[in-house]
Amino acid sequence: MDKNRLAAEIQFEIDQLRQLAITVKGLQESINGCPLPWHAAAGAKYVADLWMGIENLCKRRCIYLGLPIPSGVDSHNRLLEDFLAQPELGGKLAADIQHRLKKYKNFRHRFVHGYGFEIDWEKVNEPLCLLPETVELLSSLWLGWLHDTCH
């Protein structure tokens, strides 16, 4: 992968995550203080989508740098650990934000391996409310990395 393709693919993922944040705000506005079961299922999907976007960004970095993409049962953990270990990426995040990313990863697992109707709004609300802020933090971080890598 060359620098131009890397830049295009990183920007695509960031654009997708930003659209996700806009969609989350729309969902929150539609609830009017009375969440219904499908609001929780939709919110859980969006929270899981955030983790998918993080993984996509990390995988693109691996491909560009010629690093192996983790696979197997612990691949999600290894992608996150690698991201957090990079001083120019996850290493720049405050401890509470790093912990938040771990919670998003864990939430993704529960969502993917469970039924949507089993999701409680109380479990979705906090990560959903933090999603737009998290997207902007990650966008800034990845765009900074991209700039430093490509220039």
Domain chopping of the chain, boundaries: 3-150
| Phi, psi angle pair for 117, to nearest 5° | -75, -10
DSSP state of 119: -
Over residues 80-109, the mean pLDDT reads 92
pLDDT confidence band for 108 (50 / 70 / 90): confident
Average pLDDT, the chain: 92
Q: What sign results for the dihedral spanned by CA atoms 74, 76, 81, 82?
A: positive
- 61, 66, 67, 70 alpha-carbon torsion, rounded to 10°: 80
Q: What sign results for the dihedral spanned by CA atoms 74, 80, 82, 85?
A: negative
Position 27 pLDDT exceeds 70: yes
CATH code for the part of the protein at 3-150: 1.20.120
pLDDT confidence band for 16 (50 / 70 / 90): very high
pLDDT value, residue 115: 67
* Digit-coded pLDDT (tens) for 37-65: 889 999 999 999 999 999 999 999 999 99
CA distance 121 to 54: 23
CA distance 116 to 45: 9
Lowest pLDDT segment from 19-23, 73-77, 80-84: 73-77
pLDDT value, residue 113: 64
Residues 6+ apart with CB under 8 A from 146: 6, 7, 10, 11
pLDDT value, residue 122: 87
